Amino acid sequence: MAAAHGQVTGNLRMNADIVDIEAARELVQRTAILLDDEKFDDWIGLFDSGGTYELSAYSTEIRRWMTWQLSDRDALEKMLQEVNEHVRDPARRRHVVGIPLVELDGERGKVTSHFSLFRTSPEGQSSLYMVGCYEDLIVKRSGAWLYATHKVIVDTRMLDMFTHIPV
């Protein structure tokens, strides 16, 4: 039997899960787009009030993990307000993010996604800047998914140009 226009059919729990999974995937994609467009206030808004940003890499030379940055939401906000006071890389950045794997447990979840980050110089030459993975812990607040932890694990450790902008 066909459903009437606008009627939800099937398992309502499954439909709700699908909506949450898509919202979590959208969170990751929105993160990349906001950083690429340098909309830092909007990017900060994707973090829960106690949320953190971590950037780390494994060093084969010293055989251990290195944390390059660990900042809470307030420190991120302050850092990004001051970004234009630093000497900056003039290149445009563009994230390419794979389809995130989402694992939800009620109002909490884990999202894993691989990314590549390209940079294009003002002269128009593009190159691969960084490759890595996001391992995010998310929480649902007032119907919206936010970062409890946005962890960036980079494979690339030798960078052509340093940036003050999060990855």
- H/E stretch holding 23: helix 12-36
Residue 164, pLDDT above cutoff 80: no
CA dist 116 and 97 (Å) reads: 7
Residue 12, pLDDT above cutoff 70: no
Contact (CB, 8 A) for 53 and 150: yes
Q: What band does 94 get if pLDDT is binned at 50, 70 and 90? A: very high
pLDDT of residue 8: 45
pLDDT of residue 157: 87
Which domains, from first to last, does the chain contain?
12-154 (3.10.450.50)
Percent of the chain at pLDDT > 70 equals 89
pLDDT of residue 9: 53
CA dist 103 and 56 (Å) reads: 22
Average pLDDT of the chain to the nearest whole number: 90
The alpha helices in the chain, defined as continuous H runs, are 12-36, 40-44, 73-81
User: Is 0.85 topped by the overall pTM?
Assistant: yes
Q: Which of 59, 77, 56 is nearest to 135 (CA)?
A: 56
Structure tokens belonging to residue 74: 């307030």
pLDDT of residue 7: 46
Instruction: Summarize pLDDT for 117-150 with one digit per residue, the tens.
Output: 999 999 999 999 999 999 999 999 999 999 999 9
Task: Give the residue carrying structure tokens 């939401």.
Answer: 73
Residues 15-34: b if buried by 16+ CB within 10 A, e if exposed = eeeeebbebbbebbeebbeb
pLDDT of residue 10: 52
Contact (CB, 8 A) for 36 and 156: no
